[in-house]
Amino acid sequence: SQQGEEDPQALSIQEGENATMNCSYKTSINNLQWYRQNSGRGLVHLILIRSNEREKHSGRLRVTLDTSKKSSSLLITASRAADTASYFCATEPTQGGSEKLVFGKGTKLTVNP
């Protein structure tokens, strides 16, 4: 079963605008990761934030993590048409030990040129 939910389910913006996606999860985690998936393809790892971190940056990406609220957000600044994709948050639960990832349902981002 899915660990949590991304919000919104779909987001449509103009090129150059910022896009913010949120993720909520249910159990305690070792880390939270964001992945991008272009239509019908495999997933590409974007950024990882550990449970003891609160914010992380990578290029135009900024991710925050609030473990007390069990939530994370992904901000994409100065969006481009090429950013059009589905974005998934994935958590590595503390329990288990296999480093398996538990994914949300994703946010479908459309960036209009």
Partner 1 sequence: DTGVSQDPRHKITKRGQNVTFRCDPISEHNRLYWYRQTLGQGPEFLTYFQNEAQLEKSRLLSDRFSAERPKGSFSTLEIQRTEQGDSAMYLCASSSPGADEQYFGPGTRLTVT
Residues binding partner 1 (CB under 8 A) = 1-2, 30-31, 33, 35, 40-45, 48, 88, 90, 92, 96, 98-106
Nearer residue to partner 1 within complex by CB, 98 or 113: 98
Cβ neighbours for 22, distance < 8 A, ≥ 6 positions apart:
6, 7, 8, 71, 72, 73, 74
Nearer residue to partner 1 within complex by CB, 19 or 35: 35
The two three-digit tokens of residue 80, written as one number: 């481009």
Shortest gap between Cβ of 88 and partner 1 (angstroms)?
5
End-to-end Cα, the chain, rounded Å: 36
Alpha helix positions (H), the chain? none
Nearer residue to partner 1 within complex by CB, 9 or 18: 9
